[in-house]
């Protein structure tokens, strides 16, 4: 597989919007800014194939040669995210039907039915034309298929394919009825053609949630097939060129883990809201890195300045793009790419930030910041590429579990899986305790500590695997709503938390749902150094009855005052904890810190609050990133260790002061 020898810096360039003179000026500005990669032609299907089967690639041939003559590589995108108008007009079946049953009209992007055979035929055809022409072009660094997949569709094609998908999954209608438990409310189906898509034409609550769950799996599989339809064509011409797509981050509607299994590397677009705290942005990087078992990934898009589609589009503050870029690299990105290189004259993203704004020159704050960033990244050469984060703690995250939890009616309408995951992640990240976010099929034995918040759905033998992990000496943490259901979201009979009962040494009989304004208390008896303190808790309260486990905390209020809310079970050589409620941030921070200390997991260096530290290790180097997210100066203490400051080519050791928003990139000896 072709590998990069530097951090790719640049981004989406849309040359079909520009005349030759503008393109020539852009080339000069790109060189000045240190751009070494352009992503194109993402939206150029209309220009490349103005009539069915009539291709016009000459302009793109010239453009790629011109870009390459300036020493800039290309990541070539199949332009299939926006089909040309003739295609929608001639073959209206390519247009999707939305959840309300409305046929969409032409004019958007990502507005095709992923199951449309005609769409797939034309998409594969243009991918074939591109691969034939460019698969061996020296400028080609990677293939980028389509753009930000994620369109749901409820058209007749999808309806028919959904039934076939179900037939493949369940075999017989009898088995489907059993797995869907259709005897509830007498929803038995006799033939596959009686199964309807879960559209809004059917009231959400009255529709069996398992149908919605299977629809989301089906949509994911259909989207992965749609990706593969083009990727397989590209790979045929030159298997050495890596193929990916730019994912819209961790979006709920597609199981990105399934998508990632089809990619040679993960690519994702990072658009934090101005109000997102640093830990939340870091968590998204962690989720994306975990998709391919910790492999480094491509940051395919971020905005050089303000976006245009947030409710209030704050300017990126001086230094903010640099800080966010290094945060991405610190968590595993091997590239630093942006949308967009030149700000468009009109259209939906007319006011979205760009390297080159409407002024058309390089004399702007953003262009100067980008140029400085480009220079710094070039100085790092290939030092950080393919470097991995070496975490001994992991948080388990799974899309099927996410869907099942939130599709279930009860116990609380406030169920928000991502929010709960982020709360646990925050407790690690804000103490710089290295943690991976892992897939359910990840090898648990790689870790000393595994935390699985809200592990509602038991699949892939996870119960057995966790039991084995603890038996061999691992530390495991489960929370409320664990071990409840199987892969079809059917409750597992026997006491909760089902397959985790034995390892946790408890049974959970009931779960109370608190209103948003209600609180209970966790009265801590003993856990690490946290003796006899009270902490607030809310949301859900599992009533835990320890069987073999010891009680570490009990509820302080309500009729279940005195009943266990935190337990520890010694099992084999390991320990398994159960937190039956949603504890305060204060508790989690302290508790996770102590739990890590107990497992021998420490922060690499001590630092002031708000200073983020990670390190990426490869055969080439061990590189440490220190990022000060504070509004004021802060410190980090390297003690006796001497590190090489790669951005300033000087040595650092001891207690070092770091400016507000500044970043240190250091090589360990």
523 is catalytic: no
Nearer to Zn ion, 44 or 88 (CB): 88
Contact positions with Zn ion (CB under 5 A) in 486-525 = none
Rg, the chain, Cα only: 26
CB of 23 to Zn ion, least distance (A): 38
Nearer to Zn ion, 47 or 118 (CB): 118
Nearer to Zn ion, 157 or 581 (CB): 157
430 is catalytic: no
Per DSSP, the chain holds a count of helices (H) and strands (E) of: 17, 29
Which helix (H) or strand (E) segment holds residue 394: the answer is strand 393-396
CA 149 – CA 142 distance, rounded (Å): 18
CB of 157 to Zn ion, least distance (A): 5
Which helix (H) or strand (E) segment holds residue 400: the answer is helix 399-407
Contact positions with Zn ion (CB under 5 A) in 625-654 = none
Residue with tokens 């507000």: 660
| From 111-119, 431-439, 476-484, 641-649, span contacting Zn ion (CB under 5 A) | 111-119
Q: Does 113 bind Zn ion (CB under 5 A)?
A: yes
DSSP string computed for 55-90: ---HHHHHHHHHHHHTT-EEEEEP-TTS--HHHHHH
Nearer to Zn ion, 94 or 458 (CB): 94
Nearer to Zn ion, 198 or 332 (CB): 198
Which is catalytic among the residues 49, 148, 442, 523?
A: 148
CA 111 – CA 149 distance, rounded (Å): 10
CB 38 within 8 A of CB 11: yes
Pairing mode, if any, of strands 581-583 and 298-301? unpaired
The tokens for 221 are: 């599989």
DSSP state of 340: -
The tokens for 267 are: 């690519």
CB 594 within 8 A of CB 580: no
Which is catalytic among the residues 49, 286, 301, 612?
A: 301
Nearer to Zn ion, 44 or 222 (CB): 222
CB of 98 to Zn ion, least distance (A): 10
Nearer to Zn ion, 113 or 592 (CB): 113
Nearer to Zn ion, 92 or 359 (CB): 92
Which helix (H) or strand (E) segment holds residue 12: the answer is strand 8-12
Q: Report how many residues bind Zn ion under the rule CB under 5 A.
A: 6
From 158, 213, 299, 549, residue interacting with Zn ion (rule: CB under 5 A): 158
CB 557 within 8 A of CB 496: no
Q: Which of 568, 565, 567 is nearest to 522 (CA)?
A: 565
CB of 412 to Zn ion, least distance (A): 34
Q: How would you class 113 by CB atoms within 10 Å of its CB: exposed for 0-12, middle for 13-18, buried for 19 or more? A: buried
The tokens for 523 are: 């009265």
Nearer to Zn ion, 111 or 539 (CB): 111
DSSP string computed for 117-159: HHHHHHHHHHHHHHHHHHTT-TTEEEEE-SSS------SHHHH
Q: Does 226 bind Zn ion (CB under 5 A)?
A: no
CB 240 within 8 A of CB 2: yes
Q: Does 155 bind Zn ion (CB under 5 A)?
A: yes
Q: Which of 333, 341, 334, 332 is nearest to 305 (CA)?
A: 341
CA 537 – CA 522 distance, rounded (Å): 7
CB 15 within 8 A of CB 24: no
CB of 384 to Zn ion, least distance (A): 42
CB 342 within 8 A of CB 355: yes
Q: Does 95 bind Zn ion (CB under 5 A)?
A: no
Contact positions with Zn ion (CB under 5 A) in 135-154 = 153
Q: Does 38 bind Zn ion (CB under 5 A)?
A: no
Contacts with Zn ion by CB under 5 A lie at 113, 115, 153, 155, 157-158
Residues designated catalytic: 148, 301
């Amino acid at each position: 597989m072709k590998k990069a020898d530097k951090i790719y810096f640049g981004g989406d360039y849309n040359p079909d919007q520009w005349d030759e003179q503008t393109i020539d000026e852009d080339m000069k500005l790109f060189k000045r800014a240190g751009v070494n990669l352009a992503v194109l032609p993402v939206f150029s299907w209309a220009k490349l194939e103005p009539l069915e089967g009539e291709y016009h690639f000459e302009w793109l041939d010239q453009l790629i040669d011109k870009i390459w003559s300036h020493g800039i590589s290309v990541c070539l995108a199949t332009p299939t995210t926006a089909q040309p108008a003739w295609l929608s007009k001639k073959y209206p079946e390519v247009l999707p039907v939305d959840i309300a049953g409305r046929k969409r009209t032409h004019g958007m992007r990502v507005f095709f039915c992923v199951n449309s055979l005609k769409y797939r035929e034309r998409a594969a055809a243009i991918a074939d034309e591109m691969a034939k022409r460019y698969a061996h072009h020296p400028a080609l660094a990677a293939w980028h298929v389509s753009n930000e997949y994620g369109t749901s569709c409820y058209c007749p094609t999808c309806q028919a394919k959904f039934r076939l998908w179900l037939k493949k999954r369940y075999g017989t209608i009898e088995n489907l009825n059993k797995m869907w438990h259709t005897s509830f409310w007498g929803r038995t189906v006799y033939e596959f053609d009686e199964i309807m898509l879960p559209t809004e034409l059917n009231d959400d609550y009255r529709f069996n949630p398992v149908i919605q769950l299977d629809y989301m799996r089906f949509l994911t599989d259909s989207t992965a097939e749609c990706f593969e339809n083009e990727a397989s064509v590209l790979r045929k011409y030159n298997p050495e060129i890596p193929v990916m797509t730019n994912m819209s981050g961790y979006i709920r509607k597609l199981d990105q883990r399934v998508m990632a299994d089809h990619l040679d590397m993960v690519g994702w677009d990072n658009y934090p809201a101005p109000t997102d705290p640093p830990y939340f942005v870091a968590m998204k990087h962690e989720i994306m890195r975990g998709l391919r078992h910790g492999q480094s990934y491509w940051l395919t898009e971020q905005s050089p300045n303000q976006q245009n589609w947030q409710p209030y589009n704050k300017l990126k503050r001086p230094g903010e793009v640099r800080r966010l870029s290094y945060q991405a690299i610190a968590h595993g990105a091997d590239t630093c790419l942006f949308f967009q290189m030149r700000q468009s004259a009109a259209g939906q993203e007319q006011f979205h930030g760009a390297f080159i704004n409407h002024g058309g020159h390089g004399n702007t704050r953003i262009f100067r910041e980008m140029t400085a960033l480009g220079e710094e990244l070039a100085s790092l050469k290939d030092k950080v590429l393919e470097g991995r984060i070496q975490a001994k703690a992991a948080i388990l995250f799974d899309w099927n579990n996410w869907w099942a939890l939130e599709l279930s009616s009860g116990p609380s309408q406030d169920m928000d899986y991502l929010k709960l995951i982020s709360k646990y992640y925050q407790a690690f990240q804000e103490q710089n305790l290295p943690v991976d976010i892992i897939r359910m099929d990840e090898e648990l034995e790689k870790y000393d500590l595994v935390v699985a918040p809200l592990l509602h759905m038991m699949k892939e033998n996870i119960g057995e695997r966790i039991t084995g992990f603890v038996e061999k000496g691992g530390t495991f943490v489960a929370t409320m709503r664990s071990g409840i259901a199987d892969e079809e979201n059917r409750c597992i009979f026997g006491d909760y938390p089902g397959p985790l009962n034995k390892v946790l040494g408890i049974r959970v009989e009931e779960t109370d749902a608190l209103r948003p304004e209600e609180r209970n208390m966790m009265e801590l008896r003993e856990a690490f150094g946290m003796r006899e303190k009270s902490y607030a808790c809310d949301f859900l309260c599992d009533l835990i009855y320890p069987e073999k486990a010891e009680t570490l905390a009990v509820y302080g209020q309500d009729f279940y005052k005195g009943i266990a809310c935190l337990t520890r079970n010694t099992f084999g050589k390991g320990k398994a904890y159960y937190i039956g409620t949603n504890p305060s941030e204060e508790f989690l921070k302290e508790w996770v810190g102590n739990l890590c200390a107990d497992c021998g997991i420490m922060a690499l260096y001590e630092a002031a609050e708000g200073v983020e530290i990670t390190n990426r290790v490869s055969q080439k180097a061990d590189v440490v990133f220190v990022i000060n997210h504070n509004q004021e100066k802060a410190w980090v203490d390297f003690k006796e260790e001497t590190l090489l400051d790669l951005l300033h080519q000087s040595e650092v050791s001891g207690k070092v002061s770091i400016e507000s928003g500044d970043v240190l990139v250091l090589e360990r000896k």
